[in-house]
Amino acid sequence: MKKSIIYTCTGDAGTTSLVGGKRVKKNDIRIEAYGTVDELSAHVGMLSSYDYKLSQEEIITFVQNKLFNIGAYLATESNEGETPSVWGLNDSDIERLEKAIDEVDSQLPKLKSFVLPGGALASSMAQVARTVCRRCERRIIDLSETTYIDPNVLKFINRLSDYLFVLARFINISSDIEEKYWNKDC
């Protein structure tokens, strides 16, 4: 069996293919949107590599699989007038993420102010993933101004940033690291 070739040279002029074969510039908003989903998945994967003594592996794997579904959806151009749904992403997936948020958040003290990112390394990674998630959301909104985007995509991404925020807080608190709050007078 012949080994696959990783480099094809087809992108050397600054273009790439969407699912279906259409060539677009690598800085096309569609590429920006699903490329940021890919970046987010990599950050979530890095977060899962840290041993933070939590039972979050199952939800993190679930999230990464859903991000791949979203990325594939965003990489596929729909025909004008179509309103395609994301394969493998539905209301129950968003509810599952909301349940995970509620479970983690129920163990946290009430917020006093804005929390400064930092503390445990895994908490910092969750905060970085959260900010990439917010950028991902902005790129998807940009794309939605030119084409239909399944509303569940933005719902899932929005909930994911909330999950990453409460997870970052939980990691610090469960590691006995005191949260640092924004001091606007500093």
Cα–chain-centroid distance for residue 8? 28
* C-alpha–C-alpha distance, residues 117 and 178, integer Å: 12
Cα–chain-centroid distance for residue 42? 9
* C-alpha–C-alpha distance, residues 65 and 88, integer Å: 9
Q: Would you say residue 22 lies in a domain?
A: no
Q: Would you say residue 1 lies in a domain?
A: no
Q: Would you say residue 9 lies in a domain?
A: no
* C-alpha–C-alpha distance, residues 147 and 137, integer Å: 15
pLDDT of residue 183: 85
Q: Report the first-to-last Cα separation within the chain, whole angstroms.
A: 64
* C-alpha–C-alpha distance, residues 34 and 156, integer Å: 14
Q: Would you say residue 19 lies in a domain?
A: no
pLDDT of residue 176: 92
pLDDT of residue 8: 66
Query: Is residue 22 classed as helix, strand or coil in its secondary structure?
Result: coil
Summary count for the chain: helices (H), strands (E): 5, 2
pLDDT in tens, the chain (186 residues): 677 766 665 556 566 555 665 666 566 788 889 999 999 999 999 998 876 556 788 899 999 999 999 999 998 888 777 777 889 999 999 999 999 999 999 999 998 889 999 999 999 999 999 999 999 999 999 999 999 999 999 999 999 999 999 999 999 999 999 888 888 888
Q: Is residue 67 a contact partner of residue 40, using CB atoms and an 8 Å limit?
A: yes
Q: Would you say residue 182 lies in a domain?
A: no
Task: Tell me the CATH number at 168.
Answer: 1.20.1200.10
Report the run of H or E that residue 42 belongs to, with start and end. Answer: helix 29-49
Measuring CA to CA, which residue among 153, 148, 129, 165 is closest to residue 34?
153
Q: Would you say residue 13 lies in a domain?
A: no
Q: How many domains does the chain have?
A: 1
